[in-house]
Amino acid sequence: MTPKKLTLPLTDLQIKNLRQGDLLLLSGTIYTARDQAHKKLIETLKSGQALPIPKGAVIYYTGPTPAKRNKVIGSCGPTTSGRMDEFSPILIEHGYKIMIGKGARNETVIKSLKKHQGLYLSALGGCGALYQQCVKTCECITYPELLSEAIYKLTVHEFPVIVTI
Amino acid sequence: MMPKIRYIEAKTITKKTAELVQNTATYLRPDALKAFKSALKTETSTPSKTILNYLIKNAELAKKNNTPCCQDTGLEILYCELGEQVLIKNGHWKSALQKGIKLGSKQGCLRQSVVSDPLIRINTKTNAPGLIHFDLVPGNQIKITCLSKGFGCENKGQIKMFNPTASIDEIKTFILDSIAAAGSNACPPFLIGIGMGGTLDHACDLAKRAQLTPIGKRNSKPHLAKFEQALLKAANALNIGPLGLGGKTTCLDIKILAAPTHIAGLPVAVNIGCHAIRSQSITI
């Protein structure tokens, strides 16, 4: 399982050449969002307003622990993707087609990813300490009242994920 | 002869509980790390070996950087074995313990994972309240065991009220189906707790308590030990593997706790524990 080092953003050609089971080490910018943030993002989309994250942003499903002093971020492994299944298809349609989480996705999400040449990557569940090391910067972008469920902009270095869909 | 009463200060309980909660939620249990290393020797597929190596590296980094091994630092559950000769001084047991959970969560930078009501869902911002169980035991000490339970796996638990005439095979099928349904979402390799007997809620309580016992230690009753081994073999034959990528290590262990029950019932509870096995005890 030789890891492939890739830098975000990924081109459509790079996405096309990936195979299920490939181990990738990603570097670049990703945005965290989980249950409550997804609910708010969809409400914003439906109201016709602009989203607080740039188009094409890679979304990582996580709710980190608070950062200790002198640390960029706390423990930040992935949360269960299935709970975001109801929200993902509309986000994929609007250009947010790369997602990182853990566990299976439903048929609707799978169809949507295939239709829009999207990518679902599995991060290693329970490896919060490992991912902490991969995060170089962390900035709260929006929804700070959601605490660990806020949207954070992360700069990551060699963040291990496995190509799933 | 009158028993000698020992007094423990409430603030001592709070301080010691805070340390316990911090340590429990941060570090992987030693027998879990040992089980990963042992599984590495028996796994043959490259993806499962790669995952197991990552799990080991994660546990080592958590220890080195004093950071929670998983970001879901869980709902804190305290099991207190309270000596009958112990009395608390300058406080009350429940509030002293809950203060300990709050303090430990703050000092350890644990995640604020608790909402005060299941429907209204406002975050308590303290990671409290936790769940507290008391058992009275002889003696003048208190033993507190903390279990940090994440909800990726907790959400996959199951309970079934079998007929009293149910066969072992029916029970085995239910348990294996529960493990299969948990799958990759619950972060295998699992530590499964099975509770049998009692009432609906008692079986669920037993299933969780079963996860506190060491990996590899069999139930003291031969027929239950035999069932544990058969279940473990069958569960690992499901080939779900570490993080659901396939492999021989779907479960690190399956532990059963059983209790007397009603003539008309046979409750069986399955509690799924993920690979972030986090429980520790202190004695005061």
By CA distance, what is A103's nearest residue in B? Answer: B185
Q: Is B207 on the interface with A (CB under 8 A)?
A: no
Residue with tokens 């879990």: B32
> What is the per-residue pLDDT across B171-195, written as a single tens digit (0 to 9) for each?
999 999 999 999 999 999 999 999 9
Yes or no, beta carbons of B54 and A147 under 8 Å apart = no
Task: Flag whether pLDDT at B146 surpasses 90.
Answer: yes
Residue A38 bears catalytic tag: yes
**Cβ-based neighbour number of residue B90 at 10 Å:** 11
Yes or no, beta carbons of A75 and B61 under 8 Å apart = no
Yes or no, beta carbons of A77 and B183 under 8 Å apart = no
Q: Is A39 on the interface with B (CB under 8 A)?
A: no
Q: Is B244 on the interface with A (CB under 8 A)?
A: yes
> What is the per-residue pLDDT across B24-35, written as a single tens digit (0 to 9) for each?
999 999 999 999
- Residue A67 is predicted with a pLDDT of 93
Task: Flag whether pLDDT at A1 surpasses 90.
Answer: no
Cβ atoms of B127 and B76 within 8 Å: the answer is yes
Residue A163: list chain B partners with CB under 8 A: none
- Residue B74 is predicted with a pLDDT of 94
CA–CA min distance B258, chain A (Å):
30
> What is the per-residue pLDDT across B42-85, written as a single tens digit (0 to 9) for each?
998 889 999 999 999 999 999 999 999 999 999 999 999 999 99
Task: Flag whether pLDDT at B234 surpasses 80.
Answer: yes
Collapsing DSSP to helix, strand or coil, A51 comes out as coil
Yes or no, beta carbons of A133 and B65 under 8 Å apart = yes
Residue type for position A138: C
Yes or no, beta carbons of B58 and A130 under 8 Å apart = yes
Q: Is A162 on the interface with B (CB under 8 A)?
A: yes
CA–CA min distance A96, chain B (Å):
23
- Residue B2 is predicted with a pLDDT of 85
Yes or no, beta carbons of A147 and B112 under 8 Å apart = yes
Nearest by CB to residue B54, choosing from A82, A127, A147, is: A127
Residue B48: list chain A partners with CB under 8 A: none
Q: What is the 3-state secondary structure (H, E, C) of B201-227?
A: HHHHHHHHHHHHCCCCCCCCCHHHHHH
Element (H, E) at A136: strand A135-142
Spell out a b/e string for B174-207, using b for 16 or more CB atoms within 10 Å of the CB, else e: bbbebbeebbbbbbbbbbbbbbbbbeeebbbbbb
Residue B109: list chain A partners with CB under 8 A: 65-68, 74
CA–CA min distance A55, chain B (Å):
27
- Residue A2 is predicted with a pLDDT of 87
Residue A126: list chain B partners with CB under 8 A: 55, 58, 69-70, 187, 274-276
> What is the per-residue pLDDT across B92-118, written as a single tens digit (0 to 9) for each?
999 999 999 999 999 999 999 999 999
Q: Is B66 on the interface with A (CB under 8 A)?
A: yes
Q: Is B95 on the interface with A (CB under 8 A)?
A: no
Q: Is A75 on the interface with B (CB under 8 A)?
A: yes
ipTM of the complex: 0.91
For the entire predicted model, the pTM comes to 0.93
Q: Which residues contact B29 (CB under 8 A, 6 or more apart)?
A: B277, B278, B279, B280
Residue B112: list chain A partners with CB under 8 A: 66, 147-148
Alpha-carbon span B195 to B207, nearest angstrom: 4
